[in-house]
Structure formats: C-alpha cells, structure tokens
Amino acid sequence: MTSFAKLCGILSIYLFMTGCGNDTEVSGSIDYIGDADLILKDKPIHYKYAPVTQDTLTVDDNGNFSTAISVKKPEIRTLEIEDESYPIFLTPERDLKIDISRSDFPQNVQVQGYAENWHERYDQYLSEIKEITTQIPVEEEEIKIGEENNLTELSQQKYEIAEDHLEETPLNDYYLKAIGEHLVFKIRSIEYNQRFFEDFDADSARNAVFAEADSLNFFTVESLKAQRAGIRDFAHYYARTFGIYDSVKAAYDMDLSEYDIKQVAYEELNDKRVQVLDHMESRDALAHAKMYLIAERIGEQGPETARPSFEAYLEEFADYPEYTEFLTYFFNEIKSVSPGQPAVPFALPDLEGNIHTMEDYRGKFVLLDFWAGWCQPCLDEFSYMKEIYEEYSRDELEIIGISNEVDSLLWVQDVNRLELPWVQLYGGNGFQEETFKAYKGGGIPFYILVDPDGKIARYNDIRPSFNFTEVLDSLLIQHQNQPN
C-alpha cells in the first residue's frame, strides 16, 4: 500500500470517529459562464447505466457561486462546463474556494483550501500532455489503416507524466486512468496489427500486454475504479483481438456496424471477455470487474438472457451490497422497457413547434430513432431509413426521429441539410434527454420499435441497415393474423 493510501485510510477512520459528514462549502468565481451550466458531478458506480448525482451551481451576475456539500469521506468530484471537466478533492469540513477563467478551463483553475498545491500539479500535468492529447486521435487513425504510428509511445508518455505529477496525491486516480488508457491502446493495436501484418504473433502480443498490466497494477480494484468504464474497455478490445469482428463481416459479406456484430457474435465475444477475469488480483477487483461485465450483458442482451449470470452474481457477491443493489436496480430498469411493456410516453415539439405524443401514433408500428448530427453511425443509417420509409405505407409504419442534440439550432440545420422525410422531434439535452433516459439508452443510434397497441416490440436490437425489414415484415404478418 502506498504511503498516500495509508494516510487516506487513517484520515478516513479519524473523520468517521470524530463525526464526519458535515457540510463542506465549495465557493468561488468564474469570469464568464454565458448560457452554459457549471455542474458539480459525482462519479457513478457505472459510467453508463447508473444514476448520476450532480448539482447545477447557481452563478450570480458577478460570476460568484457557493454551495454546501455533504461529504462523508475524502472523495473526488468533477466540475463540468459543457464538454470540459476539472477534478476537485473534497474532504469533510474543509472548505474550498475555486476561481475559474472560462477561456482557459480546465487549465489555470485556482483552488484555495487544499493542504498542498495539488491544483498546480494537475495544471502542470494538463500543460505537459496538451500536445500528446491532440496527437493521439491522429495516431489512432493511422493504426486503423496499418500505417506506422506512435500511438502506444504517446500513451506511455502520458501516463509517465501523470506519474510524475499525480502519483500518491489525492488525484492519483488520474495517473491510474492514464495507465488504463495506455493498456487499452496496446490491446487495440493487436487487432489492427494482425489484420494488416501476416506474420504478426497475436498470442505473444496479448501475453505481453497482460504482463505489462500486471507490472503496472492495472488489475487492482483501485485501478479499475479509476477507469472510465472499469474493466469494460480492456475486456471489450481484448475480445476483438481474436478476429471475431472480421469473421462476422466476412460471413455476412457486408460492413456491419459494431452493434450488429456484437448482437450476432455476443456469446463468442463474451467468452473472450470473461477470460480477463482470471487476471484480477483480489476478490474486490473480481467483484468490481464482474459487476461491469454483468451490467453490459443486461444492457446489451436484455434481462431474460442475462438472468442466469445476474442471479449467480447476486449469490456469489452478496457481501458487496453496493454492486448487487446497482445490478438489481439496473436489471429491473431494463425489464421495465423490455418487449411487451408499454412504450414510454412523450410530448415533444417538431420544427414548427407542434407537440407530438406517443399516443398520436397508435394503430401502426413506430420506429423511434434517437440520434444527433455529430453521431456518424446515426447518419450512416439514414440512406437505409429513407428506403424503408418509401417501402412501407404510413398505415404500416411511421418513423420518428428524436434528437439528442444539445443545440437546437444545430438540430434545425441538420434536419434541413439531411432532408429527412419522417417526423423529426427535438428532445435536446444530450444523453440526459428525458425519453432517452426513460428507455435506459446508453448510446446512439438507439432504436425502439413500438407496436400498434403502443407496446414495445423490439428494444434496440434492430438496425435499418441490417435486420429491420425482416423483423418488421414478420411482425406485420403476426399483427394481421391476430383475431379482432
């Protein structure tokens, strides 16, 4: 255990014994906020499926803000403005004053109240990785087409910079996260290298990545909790190193979307994902990693398919109530929007401001398409959707696009530019859009097929470019053959 970890443990015990949990005041100023929100967000137990605890801070006309937060133990929360975030370390009864320059955010944030100059160390870290962060997406594109690249070298530089500035500080999680990102890039490179280089030894490369991961203590519970998505990203890309994606595409003789491949080959991919669990360093790490994989199975395959592994987890890890309670919550949430359940009601405006409800479309099948103009996979489906829209009558099928675009002006421009003939409604608010959230959506494109009786017929297991026509034809026949 590191000296900092020991210190945190002692501090946590002391705070508990002396009656922790009193409010901590977070106050400060920002020179300009405009129409954006200043949000203080807690990290959820699952990056995609768990409820998010967040507070929108009130910023007055002079740019000042102040809020009292109940803090029971030392923890990191993030201040967020649009797409940028900044970590703050909170401890019980230790107030913080934070001054933000909007044009520089998340850099040059001044924090008063820390025991040491941790904000300066984080700022130095951001400064030193700035060019690396810009270059990594460029290198990612190179590796995808088999070109020479420096992707893993850059990601290693990033975690070494994080080590210099953040290791054994309260922001140690960001060092651990950088290690995880590096290892994910290493495992991803195997898939592309074996695709483009005939003599590439994937088995040796996989073993090398696991050895490096072990040396960097990646498979500890502390490390897994620090990652964007627990073990999910590493396990996902590890499964892809076995050529399963390429095999499925070859079998169907078409360039399927990732979602379609995961549906067709889910069990084969999952068999590879769970192999990663053998490397967990403790029961705590195993419980956390397995919780993530079970949640992915519930979200991607539905509650009935996931039920055996879900129930087995509840029994095996009954002594981890935080994990079992989350999985039970999520299982029941997904069950509530499974086929046969009533469609989620909504009331949303179209381009002219007219309000449409789900009830307005009773008597026909309705495909709900959640999308945004920045989502390329969403846009890739539109040519297929236009063909489908022409093929079926409006008595048989209606398509309703519900936009998650945050900026309504961008949505209007996208709808006009793309010339989409079906109903277009505006939900906004990104992944926090109410109808999308009610359906437990995790990403877009996201599709719900509603039957003429207003019940969910299919839950995000259909794609216009892949299987929608076949599915709808079968459902139309079943509906026509129903007794009156």
| CA distances for 338 relative to 56, 344, 422, angstroms | 32, 11, 25
Specify the pTM: 0.86
Backbone angles phi, psi at 128, to 5 degrees: -75, -25
Q: Is residue 239 predicted with pLDDT exceeding 90?
A: yes
Other residues' Cβ atoms within 10 Å of the Cβ of residue 61: 5
Q: Give the pLDDT score at 246.
A: 85
Q: Is 460 exposed, middle or buried (0-12, 13-18, 19+ CB in 10 A)?
A: buried
Pairing of strands 365-371, 397-403: parallel
Q: Is residue 285 predicted with pLDDT exceeding 60?
A: yes
Model confidence band, residue 484 (pLDDT cutoffs 50, 70, 90): low
Q: Where are the alpha helices (DSSP H) in 85-197?
A: 118-144, 151-166, 172-196
Pair 378, 444: CB distance under 8 Å: yes
Q: Give the pLDDT score at 22.
A: 67
| CA distances for 35 relative to 65, 231, 407, 463, angstroms | 15, 36, 11, 36
Angle between helices 151-166 and 172-196 (to 10 degrees): 170
Q: Is residue 235 predicted with pLDDT exceeding 50?
A: yes
Strand order, beta sheet including 423-426: 423-426, 397-403, 365-371, 446-450, 456-459
- The type of residue at 222 is E
Could you report the per-residue pLDDT of 101-112, keeping only the tens digit for each?
A: 999 999 999 999
Pair 278, 238: CB distance under 8 Å: no
Name the least confident of 131-135, 250-254, 359-363, 368-372: 250-254
Q: Give the pLDDT score at 384.
A: 95
Q: In terms of pLDDT, which residue wins out, 310 or 407?
A: 310
- The predicted model gives 413-436 an average pLDDT of 93
- The predicted model gives 251-264 an average pLDDT of 77
User: Could you tell me the domains of the chain?
Assistant: 3-115 (2.60.40), 121-281 (no CATH), 347-480 (3.40.30.10)
Could you report the per-residue pLDDT of 211-230, keeping only the tens digit for each?
A: 999 999 999 999 999 999 99
Q: Is residue 7 predicted with pLDDT exceeding 80?
A: no
Q: Is residue 5 predicted with pLDDT exceeding 70?
A: no
What is residue 240's DSSP assignment?
Answer: G
Return the ∠ at Cα 318 (arms to 317 and 323), rounded to 5°: 70
Name the least confident of 48-62, 100-114, 258-272: 258-272
Residue at token pair 């893993």: 152
Q: Is residue 170 predicted with pLDDT exceeding 60?
A: yes
| Spatial separation of the C-alpha atoms in residues 366 and 449, rounded to whole Å | 6
| CA distances for 46 relative to 93, 183, 240, 274, 393, angstroms | 28, 20, 22, 18, 42
Give the percent of the chain with pLDDT over 70: 95
Identify the H or E element spanning 98.
strand 96-100
Pair 397, 423: CB distance under 8 Å: no
Pair 261, 249: CB distance under 8 Å: yes
- The predicted model gives 384-401 an average pLDDT of 97
Q: Give the pLDDT score at 263.
A: 78
Could you report the per-residue pLDDT of 346-361, keeping only the tens digit for each?
A: 999 999 999 999 999 9
C-alpha R_g of the chain: 24
